[in-house]
Structures are given as C-alpha cells and as structure tokens.
Structure 1
Amino acid sequence: MPHHDVDVDIPDADHTLDLPDDLAALIGDLEAASHIPAKRRTADIKPTVTAAAQLMYQHGVLPDELARLADLLTLRSHLAQASLAELVRNLYPAAHVADEVVLRFVGALGHGQLKPTLPLQAQYLRWLVMVYPVLENPSVLSQAYSVLFNLLDTAAIRIQTLLNLTRQTGGDPNLTGLLRVFKNYYPEIIVGDITKGRAASFKHPDSAWAQRLDDIQRQHAQRQVDTAVRNGFSVNHGVFQRLRGVKVVVPDVRTMHAQENSVTLEEIDSADSLVNKLEKIELPTQLVAVLADPLLQKLLLLRPDAEASSRISNWLMACLGDVAAGDADADIFLDMVDVIHEYALATKTLPPILVTFFEQFLSVWDGSSKRDKVLKTLSFVPLMEFQELHKILRALERAMLDNTPLSQLSLLRFYTSLLERWHITVQAAPSLDSLPLDSVTHVIEYVHPLSLTVTQTSPTVGAYLDVLDFYEALASLCSSPKLLPVLDISIPPPLLVYLTFFSPSLVITSRLCGILATYKRAWEAVMSPAVPRQLSVREREHINIFNGFLMDLCNCLWRGRAFATSDTNAKGCLLPASARAALEQYVTARDPDVLSLATAFDLSHSPLLCLRSISYLRELEDKAAADGGGGIRARHAGPVTQVSLGRLANRGGLRLSWQDYRAGVLAHLEEKGFPGIQELMYNTMKNLMRARQA
C-alpha cells in the first residue's frame, strides 16, 4: 500500500434489572447516582438504597466500604435525604471504625451551604455515640472536642439560659441532668438547688441497634477465624457453622478405626506436620468432607487416590439419585451449590465429579436462584473437549436466558471469567500438547453472537464495558507468546467494533482502540519468522476484515476521510451509501464552512474528543502567555484544523504545526487516562511510527 499513510496491510500468507448482592457494587451505583439529579436518572435509586441497607444490616460494613460510605454521606450530593438517612440508620461497622471515618463525620457538622442538612447531622452525632465502643482510637473524639464545642450555639450553652429553661419547664429531668454535668465540670458556678431535683440519666440512644452491632462484630470476628483455619493447616471443625442453613449435611472430618502406625488428619496442625507425615496420614471416614475442609483438600491434591475419588463421586450421585426419585427436596441442589462454591474458591478447580453434578443441576435450575454463585463456580470448569463442554453451556443458556439484557450480561461476564481462568491454565501448563485448545476457539466463536446481541439489546456504557472486558481478555489470550504458535487469532465481529467505536463514551472508544492495537501486534507477531506456523484459512479471511477496522478507524480519527470506501481495505464503517449521502447533506446544510462528514469524527471535531483537543490547545496558549516574551496576540476559537493553525500563526497566535498538534492531543489523551487512541495510532500510522523511531 505505498499510496497510503496507514499501516493496516497485514499481508496475506499466500451484555429486567436486578441488584447485585455485593455491597461494594451497590455503593458504586450509589456513588454514580449521587452526581446525577433525580430527574435525570434513568433508573430509580431507591431499590439500590434498600438493598444496600439490607446488606449492611445483615452483614455489616467492612472498613473500605465504610470509608466510601462516609464520603457519600457527608458530601453534598443529589441523593434524597430519606435515602441518606436510611443508610445512616443501617451503618453497622463490621470491624473497628478508623480515625479518618470519625473525622469525616465530625467535619461534616456545622452550618454552611456544602454541609449536610441539620437532621442528617443529628443522625451523625447519634451514630458517633453508638459506635464509640468500636472506635479504633477512642481518643480521636477527645482530640476533636474543641471542634465539637465550637460548633455549639453560644446562647444554647450558657448556664443562665439552662437555668431559665429549667424554671420555665418546672424542673424538666433532662435539663436537670444537663445542669448536673455543668456543675461537675464548673463547681465554681452557683446554680442553687435546681440540680437537686429529679434528673434523667443519659442512656444509650438505641439499645437494639447496639445489640445488632455486637452481633455483626462477633460474626465478622468468627469469619476472620474461619478464614484463618481455611487457609491454614488444621481441620476445620467450624464447617457446620459456616454452612449453617443448608439442607445438605456435609460431614465433618472424622477418622474412625485408625491404625496404630498411621496418623489421622485431625492430628495435623502445621505445614511441616503435613509434609513430614504425608504418606502416613489415613484418609478420614467420610471423604466427602473434602468439599468443605481445606486440609483434606490439600491432602488429596498432594496424594491423589482413585478410591477416594470414587467414594466422593458415589456420595454426590446418591444425592442426585434421591432428588430424581423424589426422596429429597429439589432445593438440595441449591444447597450443594453453596458447598461446591466454597470448594471451588478454595482449590481453584472443579473436578470432573463436580462438573457431572452441574450437568444434572442445570437441568432443574430456575436460572436465577443463587445465580452469582452458580456462575462463579462454573467459571472454574477445566479446559475440556468442546463436545462435552457444549452440553454444559447449552444447559446453562437454556436455564438463564430469558430475553432480558440482565441474563445476557450475566452470561457474558461468566464467559469472560472462564476465558481468564483458561488463560491462567495454559500459561501454567508445562506443555500444551495434552490440552484441547480447539475448545478455546469454539467457545470464542460461541460468544461472538452473544456479545453482538448485548450491544444492541442493552446499548449502555456499562454493557459496552462488559463486552470490552471479554475482548480485552481475548486479545490478551491471542497475543500471548506461548499461544501464538498453536492458537488461531479470533477477532470481534465487524458490527460490534463499529457500534462500540461510535458509542457515547470516550472510555469505551479508548479501550476499543487499545484492544485493536493489541490485536495488531498479535497479527504482526504470528506472521513473523519467530512464530513457526502457517495461518489457517479462517485467519486469512480475518486479516482482511481486521485491516478494514484499522483503515476505517484511522480514516475517522486521523485522516479526515470518515466513511470513505475508496481506500484499500476501507469498509466505510459498514455505513450504507444512502445513509452516508443523507448524513453528508445534513452536515453540509448546517455549516459547510466549518464541518464536513469526512472530518466530523477526527481529533478536533469528534463529539467525544473535541473538548479534550481544545483543552490541550488552551493549555499551550496559557503556557505561552505565562512565559512572557511578548506572549501571544490571538487565541484559537476552535475547532482546530491544519488551515486554521496557519491563520492563527499569521495573526500572532501560537505557532504549532498540524502534526505536532495532533501528536500533542494523543499525548494529552493518554495523560488524562485515555491511552487507547494513542496506542492504536502509533501502532498503525506510518508517519507516527517513524517519528517515534526517530
């Protein structure tokens, strides 16, 4: 392609709204909603507030979450006062309250436009009183006493005022109690016999709240202990507590009829003990305890046993048989999911026995109960032959997909997690010869239609980001040096690329460009002599399609030829000729001297980039004016073009070449957190490549 300045010619080789049960995610939704006026929100935030309050009441708030909520509650926002009050009422710390959280609430007290309302401030004070027993540093309130005291209204704290109020109310017990406090601290002040009357004691504001706080603190402490056991080297006798409520009774580790010269698992209490006695350890009586006991999991990983696997399989199949025969409640499956989920998280594996269980489970699952746990557990499915895997994927889709964007997005996130785990598997494998890598390609092709469907059924920023999560994981997989010699490169569907490129979010466009830059490096690597393989027929077809992506995006962003089809490989972003003509007529009718369809999406004119590009130029002009030496006599009104830069210099304005301006905008975008566009341009445009090499 000698007549083009775009390096795109890689030569032929002859995602019904549901709410998450994750408090951190809910807080993120609240933070996003707090910046948007209620009338402009696309969804009601009240269910999110209610769900967050319920989770806080049930499980408490971890330190990191508490810090985020403290900011959310104390800074002025667009959340309703009722919503903020509900959050404060359920703000149960699961652990100690850090000083910074205390000071955040203290700093929110007082008068001022940016301060929370007075009713909310009263709730903050009440909360500080109630969490005092769990403060990380109780003296922090003493250190802030002067701040608190100065916030009080002077007239309200004068003793004479209290005396007058007491006389007017006939010796109100609460006022009498407060006067006694003053008398204790200031005995030199004479208050007469008023303090001898009946006085109300200062009680805890809410004893029920305190009891709930105590329960949450104890539960959190127990979870910490359980975690230590689960990650340690001793039998977890707390398994029943951790799985309380499930109908499946997973037996505890018990070794009956142990031999004199053997060692029971219950005797192991350290890593050294496990290693030194590994061959002498006798297997426990109920091997299915492996599903919940980490020490038994370690033993069977280090010392595999065919008989043990068979016994575990028999137990699971017996459970399935009971349900099939009607002798057990079908809810037993959901309880088993809890148990297997714990096992998968602990071992980072899902053995064939448990894969078989899920094949049975998915046939009776309603598609929504414990969906997050089901999908997280299934993401540990090992790399297997696609024929077997396809049965599970089809059963999963039949159970989950209900023609709603939520079900599609949940399924897409599952595939992203599965792909990421498989990537870890192949990177860790000593040899790839025994791995069915064709299954990776089949799954990728299986997900392409789902991703494209999500971009059309749920054209939101969040859904697009979920789609890009998958293709980011895919690009990383395809560009892996270990996989390049053995795995075909799979690219996104063309329509998906163009839909995401023209999305209303610069984050999305930047990420897409970064993903395409990763793909381009993968194509260049796989066609280099360093990779000893020939391209497949499918890959040869994909090269031409991918070159079309690059040419079209470069035409829009860099070359001022948006939707052109005359260039080699250019597809005009798949825009029909009739639509292009209508758009051209529309743009020309609006302002033909300033804008054309060809340049409507370049760095200066694009709706996503125009503010960033002119901001970059403003920074240069401000710097030139501040440097002195005559400064500049004219400023650019924007948008910037090659011609306008020449005119600007002639009028005494900033002297800047067109090439330097565009390179500067790319660098400015990267500096502001949008590196993808620069990455793609410097990997595609020949003049930029030469400039970087020089």
Structure 2
Amino acid sequence: MNVERLINEKLQHIAQNASVKEKDVKRNVKNQIVELVELVSENGLEVAQLAEVLNVIIIGKLDHVDIIKLVKILLPRANVPNFLIIKVLSNLGNKVLKYDVQALLLRWIIIVYNVIEDHSQLIKFYGVIFHYMEYNTLRPLLCHILYLMTRREHVKPYRIRKLIDLQTRFGPESHLLGLLTLYKDFFPNLVTIRIPPIKNAIFKCPDVAWFQLFNQIQRRWNYSINDTPTTRSSSFKQTAKRRKLDHVEIPKACTFNATRNSITLEEITNIELLASNIDKIDLPSQLASVLENRMLQHIVVCNPERVTIARISYWLEQCLMDLVYWNDNTAETKARLNSLLIKLVALTEFMKEMLPVIQEFLVKYIQTWDGIEHQEAIFKLLSFLRPEPFEQLLKKFFMPLQNLQEKLSPSWKARLIRCYTDLFTHWILFQENDFGDEIEKSENSFLNLSIDGDYSRTIQEFIHHVNRISITSLESTSDNLEVQHAIFSAFEAIANLQINYNWNRIIIPSSSIVYRAFFSTSGMSLSRICGIILQYKEAFDKSEKNPQQNGSHHSRSYINYFNSFVMDICNCLWRNRPFNKTDKNSKGFQLDDDIIRKLQEVYNEDWTSCYSLTHLPSFAAISKSCIQNLEESSPNIRKRLTLPATQFSLKEISAAGGLQISFNDYRVHFLNVLYNLGFVGIHDFLYQSLTSLSKLKNKT
C-alpha cells in the first residue's frame, strides 16, 4: 500500500472516531495518530490533508496530548493556502481549544509564514490579532506575527496607543517592546515613550526542531525529485517544483492562474516580446523567482505595484530571518546566507525598489556584525543605503561600523572608506536620476529631494564623518598606502560633487590628511593630494565667480585656510621656502616653531631644498634617474653630477663640462617626466598654482 493511501486512511479513521468514547476505539485512534505522526514526519501533507488535520484539531474531541501531536504534523509539502491560516485566526478565543493549543497553532503560522500563498489577505485580520493581544499566552506569538506582517501603512495612531497601553499594563515585555521599536522606526514622532535598548533578536524561531522538520519536508518535495513519493500527483509536481542554486532555494517562475487573454512569463523569450506584451503578462505565482529571473525583474521595474513589491519583500525578509536568526550558525547556513546576499546585491543593482527591505535588514544585522562574515556583500549592500537624516544613519549604521573600524585591519579600514565612497556616489546618482534634465535648472537641487530631513545637511555631515574616520585610520595604520588611496578616492568623489553639481558648501579635507600625504614616502600619494587640492581650488573659483547663483557662503577665513594648503606645498616644492609662515596664507604645515627650528638645525645649509620637488624622499630616486638619462643623451659630457640637482650643483657641473641645463629648465623637464610617469596631479597643481612656472614653460 502506498504512502498517500495510508495517510488518507489514517486521517479518515481519526476524523470519524475522534468523538467516540469507547476505550478500544480511543486506543485504536491513539495508535493511528502515532503511526500518522511517523508517516507525516517523513512525507509531509498535501493541502487537503492539512485541512483535514486542522479540522480534527479545531473540533477538539481528542485528548489534549493527541491534539498537540496533530498540530506538530501540520507539515505542508507546498505553499499554505490562505484559508488554512484564516481558519486558525478565526478560532482564536475558541473555548473548545485550550490556550496552549491556540498558541501552538500560532507558532505554526510563524514557522510556515514564508510559504503562505498571499500575505496581503492576512492584513484583513490585523485588527483581530490586535484584539487577542490581551491574552498572556497568545500575546508573544501574536506580536511575532504582527512583526512579520507590519508595514508602514499598517501603523495607525490608535494601534500605537493600544500597544503603549498594553506595555503600561503588562510591563516592558520584550515582544511588546520589539513591536513598538518597529512602529517607532516608521513613525518616531508618534511613539514618544522611551523604549529601552534591545540587545538580542526578539522574534526568533519559536520551535527550531519543528522548523527544521518543516524545512526538510519542503526541500524533499520542492527540490529533490528523487526523494518524492511515486504517488504524488502530476499537478503538484508542476506547482511545487523548485530548484536549489548555490545553497539557496529559489522558487521557479511558474504561473498557475493565467487566463486566455493573458500571457505568462514562461512564454516571454526575448525583450521584444516583453515590450509588446508588457500589459498582458501575468506574474508568476512565486514572485521570489525575481532573484534570478532578469525578465521578471524587467517586468517589476516597468510596473512596480505596491502589492508585488510587498510580496517579494515578505519573502526576502523571511528568508533572511530564517538564515540569520532561526538557524544555527553553521557553515552550511553561512554559505546559504552568503549566496542569498550575493543574489540580493545583483537584484538591488537592477531594482532599487528592494532598497527598503535591504535597509531594514541591515539595520538589525550591522548591530551584531563582526565585520568579517559576508564582507563583500554587506559592504556592497551598505553602498545602496538611501539618504536619511544624518543622525539616523549615524545611529543605525555609521557608529557600529566605526566601532569595527577601530578594531580591524588596515585593509578593512580601506574597504570601509571605499564603501562610503560608493555610497556617496550612489547618492549623487540618485539625485541625478530623480531630477534628470532639471538639474541644470535648479539652483540647489540637493535641497529639493523629498526625503525625511534636509538632504544637503545629510551630505555635509557625511563628508565630515568621512573626514574624521580618515584621520583616525591614517593615525592607527601609520599612513598605510591602501588606506591613503582609499581616502583620496573618497575626496576625489567629494570634489566632483562640488565642481559638477550645484553644491553650495565646499568641504575640504582635513589639514592632517593633506600634510600627511605630503610627507608620505609614496610619490603617487603626494601627486594625488595635489590633484585633489587642485579640484577644490577649481570649485572655490567657480563658487566665487558666481556667488549668487551658487548660494556661496564660505567665510574668508575658511578660504584662506584652504589657500594655506596651496601656499605651503608650493613653498616647499618650488619656492625653496619650506614651512614658511611669513608669506600670505602660509601656515608652515601647522608645525610648531620649535619643530621648524630643529629641522633647520638638522639640515643646516641644505635647509631650503630639503623638501623641494627634487629632494623629497618620494621623488629623489626619480630625480637622480632623470639626471642620469639626460647625461646619457648628452654628448661630450666630461663630468657627471654626483650630488642632488640644485641650482648650485647644476651650475657647478655645467662649468666643469658636465650637463648643460639650468635648474629652472631642469625642474620643468622633471615635471614633464613625472607627468609621463603618471604623476599628473603634482604636474597640473604646480602649473596652475604658479604663474611664474607657466611663464617658464611657455618660454622654454
């Protein structure tokens, strides 16, 4: 006899004899239940069988222990129809069912929530669920279900008042606080009471063993065809079949409710068909297939209906919660989570409609993230964050990341700064895409974005934050080159904002960042910081030329502070006046006078050229090689230069029959050599900052 027939026969016998009082019959029913539990634990139940078991439970004629056993075998092979969930919710408060049974049925809803056919139908029971929050036994589980169901539109003032009243009456129960925290995330102005911080996840899997058994049944029927019973109906094979890719089970895109006048996604084989039939396409029954179906992604992007996005979001939220909170932290679970996060990155790059659910996931995940697990995917997802008031971003994301930054390696610090650069770039693109051709017409387009808060202030505070973590990263890593260049990339992106967009407040890098780069042993670091300063100079010039159009409000002292960067670097590299404080705007690299005097004593008569273009450690070797190349290409050289190139050494060697070139001409030649080697920043900076150098170049 096959498994299906055995299950059906036992179910029928239990249903028919549940209310019989005779001892022999009751004993036989108990035996049938034991055998049924064994069968179903291995094979699960079809929809009709689930409905039959649920009816027997709700009638409540069996012994309490047997009812509990039957609840535990509500193990669906496929999706759970809405009518089964509605039947459970409709029987809350049923006096025939003991409260622990009702609570167990609510646990079942939480466990199968991910495979409920249409969550939108459950919203109609939001008020019913709230009504039974008075019951102590049911309240934790009802809070959990509400947490899964709730979206912004469900948070009403009267529901907030109800929750606050429950919290006042029953005390600070963790599940009530968790739901209030969710409500406060949506409407902080309505939830005015103080909510104590919650360190651990509240809404965890209510029964891990049960959930794992449910997953085994789902995997058996929806992934591995070889494990399915031979009696499974052909219609179920089609509707339930899924495939497992890269450790994550993604539903296959199948449409089961198509009409004669509609076209299914399975029939769309190219973009032309998609474009000509976009209004007729029926969406697949399992919208989670959007994770790997690019055609479906196109459809959702073209017609992003709220219900569609909500259904995809529900699936993603539950899948993420399953992997992060409901499973043991095993290697298999980590692999599945990483696979899902990678797919989520690809989806988000194409569908920005997924940003809210990603942001909600990251808010929770970042609080306990070790900075190592799933690093690449997490950093990528963080770069998609939508702009919010800076205080919210700081609390939710930037402070936890800063705490990690203080502990982890230089490479991690550099990766964080690169993530912030990507985030900043996405914000600029977000602004550009939202406004399109109207950007050029807007006097201050950053202020016009419809977000909760002042977008320009968010940008401004974010740049200051990047400035701060850049300084601490350089100090803690002894000016690690990878960290340096990550910082330079960040400020190049920031400078681009200030040059090419209508940004009314220029924010320059900290002096610590600029001066540390000057003393770096890497010539590329010095060249890049010079290039960045040149970009900022261009931004200031543009702002000063059209102050009314750009809304410029930079103080003269702030502009002079920036000009000190230009003056100090020029004094060292070209004018042979290192650390000068007497010229206009010169700050002497903000070194104390005592330190400058000690440097003068160390270098003695070589003081004026020790930090010049040809003597800096970052360029000295290149300068020596440049001199040697000039000598090799010059005929009749009787004596070669053995000292560093200076005005005096070149003059002496020229008189002795050596290289015939003046120091000024040599520096112009050396700058061109640096340019050809890729040191474009220092070349352009000096030529555009020094009028005398430009004239010298034209002369030569």
Aligned residue number for residue 256 of structure 2: 256
1:465 to 475, 485, 505: 485
In the alignment, the residues of structure 2 paired with residue 577 and residue 377 of structure 1 have an alpha-carbon distance, to the nearest angstrom, of: 48
Distance 2:241 2:367 in 1: 32
> Structure 1 residue 505 and structure 2 residue 515: aligned?
no
The one-letter code sitting in structure 2 at the alignment partner of 1:466 is: A
In the alignment, is the contact (CA less than 8 A) between 1:525 and 1:531 conserved in 2?
Answer: no
The corresponding residue for 2:691 is: 686
The alignment partner of 1:601 has SS state of coil
CA displacement at 1:611 relative to structure 2: 2.5
Cα deviation digits, residues 242-290 of structure 1 (max 9, x gap): x3323xx432222121111011111110010000000111122222332
8 Å CA contact retained: 1:366, 1:399: no
Q: After superposition, where does 1:327-366 map in structure 2 within 5 Å? A: 336-347=340-351, 350-366=354-370
For residues 452-492 of structure 1, what are the alpha-carbon distances to aligned partners after superposition, in whole Å with 9 as ceiling and x for unaligned?
Answer: 11111112222222222222222223222xx1x33422211
Partner of 1:570: 586
In the alignment, the residues of structure 2 paired with residue 609 and residue 552 of structure 1 have an alpha-carbon distance, to the nearest angstrom, of 18
Name the stretch that deviates more: 573-582 or 389-398.
389-398
Partners of 2:617 and 2:402 in 1: CA distance: 41
Choose the corresponding residue for 1:559, options 564, 567, 575: 575
Contact 1:338 1:373 in 2 (8 A): yes
Q: Distance in 2 between matches of 1:468 and 1:286?
A: 45
1:604-661 superposed Cα distances (whole Å, 9 cap, x missing partner): 3222222222332333333231xxxxx3444333322223333333333333233212
Determine the C-alpha separation between the residues in 2 that align with 1:568 and 1:603.
21
Q: CA deviation at 1:544?
A: 1.8
Structure 2: distance between partners of 1:327 and 1:529: 58
The structure having more radius of gyration, on CA atoms, is: 2
- The aligned runs of 1:624-663 (5 Å cut-off) are 624-625=634-635, 631-663=636-668
- The structure 1 residue matched to 2:625, chosen from 595, 611, 615, is 615
What SS does the corresponding residue of 1:258 show, helix, strand or coil?
A: coil
1:373-420 CA distances to partner (integer Å, 9 max, x unpaired)?
110122122344434433442364167335233443332121122123
In the alignment, structure 1 residue 370 sits paired with structure 2 residue 380:
no
For 1:490 and 1:454, locate their aligned partners in 2 and report how far apart those are by CA, in whole Å: 19
Which is richer in helix? Answer: 2
User: Residue 550 of structure 2: SS of its match in structure 1?
Assistant: coil
Q: Measured at CA, do residues 422 and 337 of structure 1 come closer, stay the same or move farther in structure 2, by a change above 3 Å?
A: same
Cα distance in 2 for partners of 1:534, 1:313 equals: 41
Which whole-Å CA distance do the structure 2 matches of 1:316 and 1:426 have between them? 27
1:478 aligns with 2:498: yes
Query: Which one scores higher on RCO, CA 8 angstroms, separation ≥ 6?
Result: 1
How far apart are the structure 1 equivalents of 2:354 and 2:584? 49
Distance across 2 between alignment mates of 1:493 and 1:685:
23
- Change beyond 3 A, Cα 1:312–1:685: same
The answer to whether the 8 Å contact 2:363/2:397 transfers is no
Distance in 1 (CA, whole Å) between partners of 2:464 and 2:508 is: 9
**C-alpha deviation, 1:530, in angstroms:** 8.8
Check conservation: 2:497, 2:503, Cα contact below 8 A.
Answer: no
Q: Please state if 1:519 is matched with 2:536.
A: yes
**Mapped partners of 1:654, 1:440: distance in 2:** 54
C-alpha contact (below 8 Å) 1:557/1:602 kept by paired residues: yes
Per-residue deviation, 1:348: 6.8
Q: Indicate which of 460, 480, 486 corresponds to 1:441.
A: 460
User: For residue 604 of structure 1, what is the aligned residue in structure 2?
Assistant: 614
Secondary structure class of the residue paired with 2:602: helix
Give 2:475's aligned amino acid. Q
| Contact persistence 1:363–1:395 (CA under 8 A) | no
Q: Kindly tell me: are residues 574 and 265 of structure 1, through their superposed partners in 2, closer, same or farther at Cα, counting changes over 3 Å? A: same
Corresponding position: 1:676 with 2:695: no
> Which ranges in structure 2 are unaligned for 5 or more consecutive residues?
1-239, 440-444, 450-454
Deviation at 1:334, TM superposition (A): 5.4
Q: Aligned partners of 1:612 and 1:412: how far apart in 2?
A: 31
Cα separation, 1, equivalents of 2:371 and 2:384: 18
TM-score (norm 2): 0.58
Distance 2:686 2:596 in 1: 25
Structure 2 CA distance for aligned equivalents of residues 395 and 240 of structure 1: 40
2:550 to 518, 521, 533: 533
Contact 1:350 1:380 in 2 (8 A): no
Q: Answer yes or no: is the 8 Å Cα contact 1:498–1:573 preserved in 2.
A: yes
1:416-427 correspondence to structure 2 within 5 Å = 416-427=421-432
Q: In 1, are the aligned partners of 2:345 and 2:380 still within 8 Å (CA)?
A: yes
Whole-Å separation in 2 of the counterparts to 1:492 and 1:647: 42
* Counterpart check, 1:386 vs 2:373: no
Task: Specify the SS of the correspondent of 1:445.
Answer: helix
2:251 aligned partner, one-letter code: P
Partner of 1:290: 290
Alpha carbons of structure 1 residues 636 and 294: separation in structure 2 relative to 1, 3 Å = same
CA shift, 1:668, in A, is: 1.2
Once residues 656 and 322 of structure 2 are traced to their aligned partners in structure 1, the CA distance between those partners, rounded to angstroms, is 88
Q: Number of residue pairs matched? A: 439
Q: Contact between 1:557 and 1:601, CA under 8 Å: does it hold in 2?
A: yes
Matches of 1:239 and 1:524 in 2, distance apart?
61
Closer, same or farther in 2 for the Cα pair 1:586/1:518, shift >3 Å? same
The whole-number CA distance in structure 2 between the counterparts of 1:266 and 1:531 is: 57
C-alpha distance in 1, partners of 2:681/2:322? 55
Q: Deviations over 1:670-693 (max 9, x none)?
A: 122222211110110111234457
Distance change (3 Å), C-alpha of 1:656 and 1:573: same
Deviation for aligned residue 1:560: 0.6
TM-score, normalised relative to structure 1 = 0.58
Alignment partners' CA distance in 1, 2:389 and 2:487: 25
- Over 3 Å counting, the alpha-carbon distance change for 1:366 and 1:636 in structure 2 is closer
1:93-172 mapped onto 2 (5 Å cutoff): none
Distance 2:305 2:399 in 1: 31
* Aligned-partner Cα distance in 2 for 1:398–1:448: 13
Identity percentage of aligned residues? 30
Does 2:522 correspond to 1:488?
A: no
Structure 2 counterpart of 1:542: 558
Aligned position for 1:140: none
Give the alignment of 1:13-32 within 5 angstroms.
none
Return the alpha-carbon distance in structure 1 between the equivalents of residues 254 and 281 of structure 2: 13
Cα pair 1:365 1:399 within 8 Å, conserved:
no
Write the distance in 1 (CA, Å) between the matches of 2:402 and 2:338.
Answer: 18
Give the CA RMSD over aligned residues.
2.9
What letter corresponds to residue 566 of structure 1 in structure 2?
T
Structure 1 residues 599 and 507: alpha-carbon distance in aligned structure 2, compared to 1, 3 A threshold = same
CA distance in 1, matches of 2:471, 2:681: 21
Question: Could you say what secondary structure the match of 1:655 adopts?
Answer: coil
Quote the residue 1:245 is aligned against: 247
